[in-house]
Amino acid sequence: MKKFNTADIPRTERIGRLLHHTFEKMPEIEADRAVLLTESYKKTENEPMVKRRALAFAHILENIPIVIRPDELIVGSSTKAPRSCQVYPEFSFEWLESEFDTVATREADPFYISDETKATLHEVFKYWKGKTTSELATAYMAPEAITSVEHNMFTPGNYFYNGVGHFTCKYWDVINLGLEGIKKQVWDELMSIRPYDADYATKHELLESMIISCDAVINYARRYSVLAMDMAKECQDPVRKKELLQIAKNCARVPEHPAEDFYEACQAFWFIQQLLQIESSGHSISPGRFDQYMYPLYEKGIYNGTLTREFAQELLDCIWIKFNDLNKCRDAASAEGFAGYSLFQNLICGGQTREGRDATNDLSFLCIQASMHTLLPAPSFTVRVWNGTPNEFMLKCAELTRTGIGLPAYYNDEIIIQSLMSRGVTLEDARDYNIIGCVEPQVGGKTHGWHDAAFFNMCRPLELVFSNGYDKGVMVGIETGDLSEFTTFEKFFDAYKRQSNFQVAMLVNANNSIDVAHAERCPLPFAAALVDDCIKTGKTMEQGGAHYNFTGPQGFGIANMTDALLAIKELVYEKKKYTLEEFKEAMALNYGKGLTPKAAKASTNAVVSSLIAEGKKVDENVIAGIFKMFLDGVATDEQKAKFDKMREDIDAVPKYGNDIEEVDLFAREVAYVYTKELNKYKNPRGGIFQAGLYPVSANVPLGEQTGATPDGRLANTPIADGVGPRGGYDIYGPTAAANSVAKLDHGIASNGTLYNQKFHPSALAGVEGLQKFVMYIRGFFDQKGMHMQFNVVDRDTLLDAQKHPEKYKTLVVRVAGYSALFTTLSKSLQDDIIARTEQVF
């Protein structure tokens, strides 16, 4: 009766053991790649850069230690220890050297590093001084842009320190044609070029480099084949021996030749996924539409009886764990912005075919099951939803959401396809999109999207309006005039726009400088062999060889800026209750409140150093006194009372997130300040800039660098998450908040928008709960919302909400037909509810 085979498959014991092994120890930093890379670079200094990259890639793959971990069916590990990382000094290294002693103990994503590795890397790094992409990027940047970066107007740190990544290659070509097929395409192109062609030199070098790179990968797979064979010889356990022999056979065939069965396809997929990340340090290298390109061999195996659903499931589970075996060490600041050891390898299921029919298949369901079996953050498992998505699929997705791991993320074809088409993507390509990294749509195998190019903090330009362009005594923006000149709200808002526009221009400069640095210093020939149209154009992706080119920096802080600007509009210009000067004073004094301990410490250090600089004597007591002053707040009691009243008045102004038409349409305008301005700019690869609206997790660390804002937000506290309302200010529940969010123009934010929500498990209880949950998503998507992702609030969260009620002001708990704001209930009632939460399923 059912269209799909959705029967649950139990997890095998192997998967439990693999999980245990993978997560047993803390991840580690390993030096092998950096050493081999440097060895190769030293020998190739007179070669063209693209050839040097290919030769280094080959040298690394020839010599890097390889391991097959116990119980593995899919092999290919970049590091000796599980979940560990290699080092990529060609992009940047100074941060790592300076963080050697703290990287193991930092709060966000710590990595163990041995003294031996530190010493090895210290030697290696000597070679790289002056040769990295980050150093070249800095050299290219305009001084004003550097100032803006230094003052945290935006942070382009992602690609400043690391490879770009953020693409989906043609896994399907590797599976169907093998690297031998790719090589043939390259050879054909090589045969067609003539010595007198204008681009002969660069194209010829690149095509040769592609051949070297493909051979390097084939050779690497063969090393695994030999290792598996050797291990099989030693193996006493007949079952494992047989598995190892099968692994040896697989690795001898793929990815060189076309995969003949589903198992080989899985192994071929994995080598590509792994080695693209060895070539560069890019993150968000995303598998894309896995259920589509893997399906033909799955179907064939099931049809001719050579594959069981159970074995296919076990292979998928193995791949899911392998995604978590790859890791990356970022600098401390970036680690906070991308917290959770995530590489954002986004794997998407469902959606439409290129012809516009529903694409859901049995493999889509096995992918959901794999995430349920492993309950891991990787892959970033996501699904496409369109009007024709079967409910059966949605209900299975909702079951995964109910586990509380925050997956899958849901994406709306009905807005994304038109959004991509507005950027020049063809209809068929647009229907074939997948998501990169967090939320960024692109056409896999054809795009260099440069998504996630920078975090643009929309709150900072407003601070510059109040200071006439200055930050900490330095001119960072432009002069928009004294506050007294803003006689109307329009003039004030216009000043915000001009400050913002200036920072957008600086951001473009920073991004384009980094872009050129990557093209010059780190072209990636292996990735180029697997992305259209690099072979034809004879350019790597970094040089503009991809079919579609974009740069997508993401803005965040819409909710704060909407609420802030509306507070000023109403309280200063309409009711005339306060002046702009009073707002300025309140913000400068943080509304009379003390700073967070972290910020108080930083401010104390600044004051102490300036006192010392003035030659004053500073003892422990003075320092303690200054620290206490910052903790308590520097305002007088009279000022504090006034600011408390002011914040009450600010709170009374209507807020974004409550389905209030005027407020939400203003939010749309605020988002346009960023999104429309960005549309004007072009990148060096011949593409355009397109805005995203999401902060990943950077709303917290970048909030720490943002002063108090006119929405009543205190200094150094988090900025609102994604495109959602500010925590605690959406008081009419999930439909009202979603309606507000849907009123933004998601179509123009073609680099993606992000809307996170918290739900109580009772909202998803039983089949009926799942159905209503699915209809809630569909109701939001009917209004052209783009993305939705859910945290199902569990018992631990409720316990945390008891301890920190301020963080959970709008947490609604729904129990048996009655609902309440959790934090307004008494302790004993909360305990009742916590007890009930466990009973929900």
Partner 1 sequence: MENYLKARGRIFDIQRYSIHDGPGIRTIVFLKGCPLRCRWCCNPEGQEWEPVEMLVEGKPKLYGEDITVEELMPRLITDEFYYMRSGGGITLSGGECLAQPDFAPHLLHACKDMGYTTAIETTGYQKWEIIERYLPYLDYVLMDIKHIDSAKHKAFTGVNNELIHENARKFATSGVDLTIRVPVIPTFNNTPEEIRAIAEFAASLPGVEKLHLLPYHRLGQGKYDGLGREYTMRDIEPMTRDYMQSLLAEAKKSGIYCQIGG
Give the Cα separation of 316 and 311 in Å (integer). Answer: 9
Angle between helices 362-374 and 13-23 (to 10 degrees): 50
Closest CB to partner 1 among residues 142, 821: 821
Q: How far is the CB of 775 from partner 1 (least distance, A)?
A: 4
Residue 452 zone, left/alpha/beta (φ > 0; ψ -120 to 50; rest) = left
Half-sphere exposure of 616 (CA within 13 A, CB side): 10
Angle between helices 766-782 and 391-402 (to 10 degrees): 110
Single out the segment in contact with partner 1 by CB under 8 A; choices: 361-369, 583-591, 749-757, 779-787: 779-787
Give the Cα separation of 12 and 71 in Å (integer). Answer: 12
Say whether residue 191 binds partner 1 (CB under 8 A).
no
Say whether residue 834 binds partner 1 (CB under 8 A).
no
Single out the segment in contact with partner 1 by CB under 8 A; choices: 35-43, 124-132, 526-534, 767-775: 767-775
Letter for the amino acid at 727? G
Q: How far is the CB of 793 from partner 1 (least distance, A)?
A: 15
> What are the structure tokens assigned to 48, written together?
């063209």
Say whether residue 832 binds partner 1 (CB under 8 A).
yes
Say whether residue 771 binds partner 1 (CB under 8 A).
yes
Closest CB to partner 1 among residues 718, 769: 769
Letter for the amino acid at 248? A
Say whether residue 104 binds partner 1 (CB under 8 A).
no
Single out the segment in contact with partner 1 by CB under 8 A; choices: 80-88, 266-274, 498-506, 826-834: 826-834
Closest CB to partner 1 among residues 482, 782: 782
Say whether residue 631 binds partner 1 (CB under 8 A).
no
Give the Cα separation of 426 and 430 in Å (integer). Answer: 6
Closest CB to partner 1 among residues 252, 820: 820
Q: Provide the mask over 709-738, with x wherever binding to partner 1 is found by CB under 8 A and - wherever it is not.
A: -----------------------xxxxx--
Give the Cα separation of 30 and 112 in Å (integer). Answer: 9
CA quadruple 822, 825, 828, 833: dihedral positive or negative?
negative
Q: Provide the mask over 735-754, with x wherever binding to partner 1 is found by CB under 8 A and - wherever it is not.
A: xx--x---------------
Q: How far is the CB of 737 from partner 1 (least distance, A)?
A: 9
Residues belonging to the active site:
438, 440
Give the Cα separation of 457 and 478 in Å (integer). Answer: 17
Q: Provide the mask over 283-312, with x wherever binding to partner 1 is found by CB under 8 A and - wherever it is not.
A: ------------------------------
Closest CB to partner 1 among residues 540, 757: 757
Say whether residue 401 binds partner 1 (CB under 8 A).
no
User: Considering only residues 553, 692, 701, 769, which one is a binding residue for partner 1 as defined by CB under 8 A?
Assistant: 769
User: Considering only residues 763, 793, 801, 834, which one is a binding residue for partner 1 as defined by CB under 8 A?
Assistant: 763
User: Considering only residues 44, 468, 783, 791, which one is a binding residue for partner 1 as defined by CB under 8 A?
Assistant: 783
User: Considering only residues 223, 241, 584, 814, which one is a binding residue for partner 1 as defined by CB under 8 A?
Assistant: 814
Give the Cα separation of 657 and 265 in Å (integer). Answer: 46
Q: How far is the CB of 841 from partner 1 (least distance, A)?
A: 12
The answer to whether 523 and 503 are in contact (CB under 8 A) is no
Closest CB to partner 1 among residues 232, 825: 825
Say whether residue 815 binds partner 1 (CB under 8 A).
yes
> What are the structure tokens assigned to 393, written together?
């699929």
Give the Cα separation of 234 and 626 in Å (integer). Answer: 68
Closest CB to partner 1 among residues 227, 770: 770
> What are the structure tokens assigned to 716, written together?
């150094």
Single out the segment in contact with partner 1 by CB under 8 A; choices: 61-69, 135-143, 226-234, 774-782: 774-782
Give the Cα separation of 732 and 835 in Å (integer). Answer: 25
Q: How far is the CB of 390 from partner 1 (least distance, A)?
A: 15
Site of tokens 């803006």: 148
Q: How far is the CB of 649 from partner 1 (least distance, A)?
A: 14
Closest CB to partner 1 among residues 81, 738: 738
Say whether residue 839 binds partner 1 (CB under 8 A).
yes
Backbone φ and ψ for 184, nearest 5 degrees, come out as -65, -40
Say whether residue 816 binds partner 1 (CB under 8 A).
yes
List all residues 6 or more positions away from 799 whose beta carbon is below 8 Å from its beta carbon.
834
Single out the segment in contact with partner 1 by CB under 8 A; choices: 353-361, 413-421, 744-752, 812-820: 812-820
The answer to whether 319 and 272 are in contact (CB under 8 A) is no
User: Considering only residues 666, 776, 790, 808, which one is a binding residue for partner 1 as defined by CB under 8 A?
Assistant: 776
Say whether residue 778 binds partner 1 (CB under 8 A).
yes
Count, residues in the chain: 841
Residue 551 zone, left/alpha/beta (φ > 0; ψ -120 to 50; rest) = beta
Say whether residue 772 binds partner 1 (CB under 8 A).
yes
Closest CB to partner 1 among residues 690, 757: 757
Secondary structure class of 539 (helix, strand, coil): coil
Q: Under rule CB under 8 A, which residues in 642-701 are in contact with partner 1?
A: 659
Helix and strand element counts for the chain (H, E): 34, 17
Single out the segment in contact with partner 1 by CB under 8 A; choices: 158-166, 342-350, 533-541, 819-827: 819-827
Site of tokens 């929900």: 840
Q: How far is the CB of 83 from partner 1 (least distance, A)?
A: 40
Closest CB to partner 1 among residues 457, 757: 757
Say whether residue 525 binds partner 1 (CB under 8 A).
no
Backbone φ and ψ for 358, nearest 5 degrees, come out as -65, 140
Number of CB atoms found within 10 A of residue 560's CB: 28
Say whether residue 444 binds partner 1 (CB under 8 A).
no
Report the b/e string of 29-63 with b at 16+ CB within 10 A. bbbbbbbbbbbbbeebeeebbbbbbbbbbbbbbee
Say whether residue 826 binds partner 1 (CB under 8 A).
yes
Single out the segment in contact with partner 1 by CB under 8 A; choices: 211-219, 619-627, 663-671, 825-833: 825-833
User: Considering only residues 295, 780, 790, 808, which one is a binding residue for partner 1 as defined by CB under 8 A?
Assistant: 780
Give the Cα separation of 162 and 220 in Å (integer). Answer: 24
Per-residue CA distances from 691 to 319, 419, 439, 450, 487 (Å) = 33, 12, 12, 11, 31
Q: How far is the CB of 73 from partner 1 (least distance, A)?
A: 42
Q: Report the run of H or E that residue 383 belongs to, with start and end.
A: strand 380-385
Preceding peptide of 533 cis, ω within 30°: yes
Give the Cα separation of 245 and 228 in Å (integer). Answer: 7
User: Considering only residues 226, 474, 665, 829, which one is a binding residue for partner 1 as defined by CB under 8 A?
Assistant: 829
Residues near partner 1 (CB under 8 A), total:
31
Give the Cα separation of 246 and 243 in Å (integer). Answer: 5
Say whether residue 611 binds partner 1 (CB under 8 A).
no
Half-sphere exposure of 343 (CA within 13 A, CB side): 32
Closest CB to partner 1 among residues 35, 801: 801
User: Considering only residues 242, 782, 796, 799, which one is a binding residue for partner 1 as defined by CB under 8 A?
Assistant: 782
Closest CB to partner 1 among residues 406, 733: 733
Closest CB to partner 1 among residues 733, 747: 733
Give the Cα separation of 477 and 153 in Å (integer). Answer: 9
Say whether residue 775 binds partner 1 (CB under 8 A).
yes
Q: How far is the CB of 757 from partner 1 (least distance, A)?
A: 11
Give the Cα separation of 653 and 664 in Å (integer). Answer: 13
Report the b/e string of 434-449 with b at 16+ CB within 10 A. bbbbbbbbbbbbbbbb
**Site residues (vs partner 1, CB under 8 A):** 659, 732-736, 739, 763, 769, 771-772, 775-776, 778-780, 782-783, 814-820, 824-826, 829, 832, 839
